[in-house]
Amino acid sequence: RQTYITESNRGEIKNGSILRLTTSPDQEAERLYSGIQSNNSDVKTDSLKKLASLSQDVTFAQEFINRNGLKQIFYIVEEGNELLPCSTGEMLAHTLKAFMELMEHDFVSWETLSAAFIKKVVSYVNMNAVDASVQQLSLSILENMVPTSRLLFELVKKEVTLDRLLTHLQVTNAQLQLKAMALLIALLLAATDAERRVRGCSLEKNISQFIHKNIIHSSEPLGDEMAHYLYVLQSVSLNLCERRMRTSMDPYSQEQRELLQSLRQTAFESESDTPASNFSTERRRSLCAKEFRKLGFMNSTPAEHPRRAPPGLLALDNMVYFSRHTPNAYSRFVLENSSREDKHECPFARSSIQLTLILCEILHVGEPCSETAQAFYPMFFGQDHFFEELFCICIQLVNKTWKEMRATQEDFDKVQ
């Protein structure tokens, strides 16, 4: 990398550094500005290559931008040949690289980019027969655009589909795969919670299993950058649980009351020969209260129990998921404990609430993403409903541990 010596950075020169006499940055900027407008493709390509290299230096970059050099770069990209022959592909790659380096210095706002320029960059991402280096740079440009404004985020989200990013993730080119993942992460981080929930559903269906199989378990070692992106993807996805985790149970919510009733009915109504509806209102209320206590709720009004937030409604979601997706295991858990002596029964509801809270703490639900972390759980990408499935496994382990310890209510915290 070439760095020009100026009054502001001359103090950074270390003893033993080799200095080279070269053309001044203003003269070099003028020469390359003319060169990139040449009708000779070789001269133009060489000038763009040199421009991409020198643009890393802030002094040169300022000189080139002051000559309205970015406008010429926009023109080259906007007027680029759709078919991209090899010579044009190389030229375009140098042009996009130069643009990226110039924008790194923050002299110009990303919001000033023309619609034609953005449309062209998007087309390079969406086209199939494009040089890989051009696609990598185009993905990087879009990644940098997304966080700068809501307008640019909306534009990129609309033009670059999830399916297209998945196509790029399926290539064997590791750098192209990495840039596609970087854009995906940028789109997720810039989205609202509601948008993340919609996109999160698509991610679970389309990308998670692919990542698990083809990236995490690839024959190639996972680089630090990709590991960080996978950590961020996991963190953003798990944080979709935060809203439910921080929402307390509402005893007046019809929907929540119905969910609680479904827990009771799944556990007990199948074992009774006489439907509860055949009893008087008072008898039915008494029976329901008794069954809710058997489920491990602290009192006969279960809506009052999970009002603690966190884990809030997330605990109820987990209990319902367990009862619906593993009904046999759920019934076995409840009925086993219903038949134990009072002091040895494992309270399902109380255990579920505490377990959900513990899982939220372990998985850092609701915490902001770290800028450097790389730790992720490979199994997260192998399950469509990771949090709920993890809960289903752990709640059964809680019951198993409870039995092995012959625990009583006083041992609750030890078991958990």
Quick check: 201 pLDDT over 80? Answer: no
Please answer whether residues 299 and 305 qualify as being in contact, where contact means their C-beta atoms are separated by less than 8 angstroms.
yes
In single-letter form, the type of residue at position 187 comes to L
Within 8 A by CB and 6+ apart from 272, the residues are none
Position 342 scores a pLDDT of: 65
191-205, 262-276, 344-358, range with the lowest pLDDT: 262-276
**For 175-202, what is the mean pLDDT?**
88
Position 312 scores a pLDDT of: 93
CB atoms within 10 A of CB 167: 14
Position 42 scores a pLDDT of: 92
* Measured CA angle at 347 (ends 346, 353), to 5 deg: 125
Share of the chain above pLDDT 70, in %: 88
**For 121-145, what is the mean pLDDT?**
94
Quick check: 195 pLDDT over 90? Answer: no
Pair of tokens at residue 161: 């589909």
**For 192-204, what is the mean pLDDT?**
75
Render pLDDT for 271-303 as a digit per residue (tens, 0 to 9).
554 455 555 666 767 778 888 888 888 766 676
Position 11 scores a pLDDT of: 84
Note the pTM of the prediction, 2 decimals: 0.85
Q: Of 313, 311, 285, nearest to 300 (Cα)?
A: 285
Domain boundaries, given as residue ranges, for the chain: 22-108, 244-415
Pair of tokens at residue 111: 């919001």
Q: How far apart are CA 139 and CA 182, in angstroms?
A: 8
Position 113 scores a pLDDT of: 93
Q: How far apart are CA 415 and CA 403, in angstroms?
A: 10
Q: Where are the alpha helices (DSSP H) in 213-347?
A: 224-238, 242-245, 254-268, 281-294, 313-325, 327-338
**For 255-267, what is the mean pLDDT?**
92
Render pLDDT for 296-336 as a digit per residue (tens, 0 to 9).
887 666 766 556 789 999 999 999 999 999 999 999 999 88
Q: Of 193, 172, 202, nearest to 184 (Cα)?
A: 202
* Residue 204: band (very low, low, confident or very high) from pLDDT cuts 50, 70, 90: low
**For 4-26, what is the mean pLDDT?**
87
* Residue 226: band (very low, low, confident or very high) from pLDDT cuts 50, 70, 90: very high
Quick check: 19 pLDDT over 80? Answer: yes
**For 352-376, what is the mean pLDDT?**
95
Q: How far apart are CA 395 and CA 346, in angstroms?
A: 11
Render pLDDT for 51-101 as a digit per residue (tens, 0 to 9).
999 999 999 999 999 999 999 999 999 987 544 444 578 999 999 999 999
Q: How far apart are CA 50 and CA 130, in angstroms?
A: 23
